[in-house]
Amino acid sequence: MRELIKVMDSTDDRINKLVGEKAPITSLVMQNVIGWFEVFKNEIQKLSNRLKTDFDGKVNNVVIQYQERGERQFSLRVGEDLIYFHLQSNVFKLDDAHSLYRSAYLKDDPYNAYCGIICVYNFLSDSITKSRESDQGFLIARIFINRENHFYVEGKKQIGLMHNDFINDVIDANKVSDMVKTFIVFAMEHDLIPAPFDMVQSVTVSELQSHNFSSSLATGKSLGFRMQKDDNQSE
């Protein structure tokens, strides 16, 4: 009976610690990343307005459009490219095997490893406007931000090199502006490539007659990723 009481007391202590310590931390992280998501949103809106001012009436048939897509999503269309920002709805803890756990920053306070995540995708604008459900969008960046505004960015090529010092790098408005511009340049500089031949060599009569055959064929950019069914290309 005494052993059972000890176990129950230990469980109560763990619950109290989780409710008293961990729950407020994750809530604080979430509120913090929501605030930074708004900063990204405002920066995209400003950039959209500037591009419209600079190019409206000067460049034919180029669409520049900012669009909110709910509380946790927004996008910027620039010509054929759609850069899509998505705020993850949960707080994540960095994997225990991550090299950052060798640093004093996480050893001294493991709660610093809890982060909110903002994901950035690149789609072809036609994929969305024409509801081409087989088209592929690609994740070009993930931004990890903790309660103390320390952050790092995962991404392809130059994106993954721009902010990778989680221990020392603290996010601010200027860094948000730099990131936004880098994401747009990266997306626009990577061109549309045709799907591998063996993926598009057949089409059904039904799809042809419904004028919908193009929607069944996946379209996407290379973006430094290996295309499906193309083992000869490297990442």
Spans of all domains in the chain: 2-221
Instruction: Kindly report whether the global pTM for this prediction surpasses the value 0.95.
Output: no
User: CA 188 → CA 51, 83, 193, 219, 234, distances in Å?
Assistant: 14, 9, 13, 16, 21
Query: In the chain, what are the helix, strand and coil shares in percent, each to the nearest 5?
Result: 45, 20, 35
Is residue 170 classed as helix, strand or coil in its secondary structure? strand
Residue range 96-103: average pLDDT?
86
> Rg of the Cα trace of the chain?
23
Coil, strand or helix at 74: strand
* Torsions phi, psi for 224 (to 5 deg): 80, 5
| 35-91 per-position pLDDT tens digit | 999 999 999 999 999 998 888 767 777 889 999 988 899 999 988 889 999 999 999
